[in-house]
Amino acid sequence: MTTRLRRAIENRDFVVTAEVAPPKGGDPTKMLRMAKLLGDRVHGVNVTDGSRAVMRMSSIAASTLLLQNGIDPIFQVACRDRNVIGLQADLMGAHALGLRNVLALTGDPVKAGDHPKAKAVFDLESVRLLKLITKLNNGQDFNDKKMPDGPLDLFPGGAVDPQLKSWYTIESRFARKVEAGAQFFQSQMITDFQRLEEFMNRVASQYDVPVFAGIFLLKSAKNAQFINRCVPGAQIPDAIIERLAQAENPLEEGLKIAAEQVKIAKNLCHGVHMMAVKKEDLIPQILDLADVSIQISTAPALV
């Protein structure tokens, strides 16, 4: 089965993905409404897996709901909450439910979230999870035993943070993830585009694997300050925070900033990954401001 995302990558199109959060409760109505607004503007919709270690509906369950509604999901899997048995069980279950695109993550630390006394597992981290997915796709389990009921057919991706201080860490982890089987990369939120350009020239150019720049909609100066304080790795510059603070309409200014960033990313990398927490319905407006239009089938996947 070839997903919309996989076709776009194979065709070397400029790829647009976006992110939605699963519900914190049993009613997926809002998530589905937001995802449907994105359906014909993106190649895939990420469903987070306990982002910031905050408890929400299962990424696999929420992704299945999206798939049932004609939306091509990218289900995230974090190593934080499952041992290697649980990870394999979930990946097999996801495949059986028709999910194919998967983003392999280590997971944010438990202490960052809303259940700080929960026990973290971390049997694996993202590189070893990618290796596990490759094994399962080849019909072998974690212990290199043949799976009697057939291999999986998952399309795995990884995360990358070009803004880390250590070039050695960036280069090493990127190379290891490619070797482990990553077919695409979505970056953390990018605010330093000079650094992104250097990363693309210095690291990504050595591999035939696409990179999508993370673009985050900032709703206000207060929102930006919260993200810097509470989101691991966030580095929103003072200049952007001041621009939001001085704006007559901070949300409108945030839309302009995000669109400007999309335009820059178009000249640097292979796509963008759009994040607009609780304002996913504004992502099409950002894409319009950035003159990004993509032609895609309305079907989520073709065999």
Do residues 159 and 130 lie in contact, with contact meaning Cβ atoms separated by under 8 Å?
A: no
pLDDT of residue 296: 60
Please enumerate in sequence order all residues whose Cβ is within 8 A of that of 249, keeping only pairs 6 or more positions apart, or say none.
Answer: none
pLDDT of residue 13: 96
The whole-angstrom distance between residue 132's C-alpha and the CA centroid of its chain comes to 19
For 2-292, CATH number out of 1.25.60.10, 3.20.20.220, 3.40.30.10, 3.40.720.10 equals 3.20.20.220
pLDDT of residue 3: 95
pTM of the complete model: 0.94
pLDDT of residue 235: 85
Per run of 10 residues, the mean pLDDT along the chain (length 303 residues) is 93 96 97 94 97 95 97 97 98 98 96 94 98 98 98 98 96 98 97 96 97 97 91 85 97 98 97 96 97 66 39
Q: Which two tokens stand for residue 145?
A: 């035993």
Give whole-number Cα distances, 40 to 45, 214, 297, 300, in Å. 11, 19, 8, 10
